[in-house]
């Protein structure tokens, strides 16, 4: 079945829902209770998504990303776990997964209740704080404090949610 091929070895919580299993690519991930995953989403092995999250269409969540409970991830959001990506090694050969692991992965955490706007790009190694808001189309290059609202390329602080 196509379903089996594209949603593989993934632990789904109670009530979690993938709207179109034929049109996603999820493997070796964890998705918590009641969370929703849209179409054209790829979630890589080792990625962890908490409960009550919305992961919108066209989004890519890579290995090394942890998304806590109640997080909104918009459409077309790209996470990154390698801030210095390359296709080839020093010898000009395709970099192997072992070589890539040796260079190290930059892990990212999105804390409880945060919202990431559509079209945002999240560099590796950052923490996005609780209830923080990342504006649509922003490129997040460093940590975002709890309840901070950031936007732009690179993302800069606009204000805090309670101000």
- Any catalytic annotation for residue 75? no
The single residue of 84, 90, 98, 101 carrying the catalytic annotation is 84
Spatial distance between the Cα atoms of 126 and 113, rounded to a whole number of angstroms: 16
How many C-beta neighbours within 10 Å does residue 19 have?
12
**Shortest CB 11 distance to a copy of itself, Å:** 19
Residue 139 CB, nearest approach to a copy of itself (Å): 4
List 12, 117, 126, 148, residue binding a copy of itself (CB under 8 A): 117
Q: Could you give the 3-state DSSP secondary structure of residue 152?
A: coil
49-78: which residues touch a copy of itself (CB under 8 A)?
52-54, 56-58, 60, 69-72, 74-76, 78
CA nearest neighbour of 26 among 13, 9, 38: 9
Query: Does residue 107 bind a copy of itself (CB under 8 A)?
Result: no
Dihedral-angle region of residue 61 (phi above 0 means left; psi in -120 to 50 means alpha; beta otherwise): beta
> Which of 3, 11, 45, 93 is the binder for a copy of itself (CB under 8 A)?
93
Interface with a copy of itself, residue 88, by CB under 8 A: yes
Tell me whether residue 12 or residue 60 sits nearer to a copy of itself (CB atom).
Answer: 60
**Listed residue (107, 113, 105, 153) closest to 129, CA to CA:** 113
Contact pick of 45, 103, 145, 152 for a copy of itself (by CB under 8 A) = 152
**CA Rg, the chain, in Å?**
16
User: Read out DSSP for 57-126?
Assistant: TT-EE-TTEEE-TT-EE-TT-EE-S-SS--SB-TTSSBPPHHHHHHH----EEE-TT-EE-TT-EE-TT-
Query: Can you give the binding site for a copy of itself, defined by CB under 8 A?
Result: 2, 5-6, 20, 22-23, 25, 34-36, 38-40, 42, 52-54, 56-58, 60, 69-72, 74-76, 78, 80, 84-88, 92-94, 113, 115, 117-119, 121, 123, 133, 135-139, 151-154
């Amino acid at each position: 079945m196509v379903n089996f091929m594209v949603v593989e070895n993934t632990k789904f919580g109670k009530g979690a829902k993938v709207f179109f299993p034929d049109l996603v690519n999820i493997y070796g991930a964890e998705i918590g209770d009641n969370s929703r995953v849209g179409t054209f989403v790829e979630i890589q092995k080792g990625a962890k998504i908490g409960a009550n999250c919305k992961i919108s269409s066209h989004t890519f969540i890579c290995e090394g990303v942890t998304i806590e409970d109640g997080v909104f991830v918009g459409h077309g959001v790209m996470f990154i776990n390698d801030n210095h990506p390359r296709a080839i090694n020093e010898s000009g050969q395709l970099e192997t997964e072992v070589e890539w692991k040796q260079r190290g992965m930059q892990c990212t955490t999105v804390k409880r209740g945060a919202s990431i706007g559509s079209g945002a790009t999240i560099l590796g190694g950052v923490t996005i704080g609780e209830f923080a808001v990342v504006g649509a189309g922003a490129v997040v290059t460093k940590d975002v404090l709890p309840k901070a609202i950031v936007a732009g390329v690179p993302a800069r602080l606009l204000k805090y949610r309670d101000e």
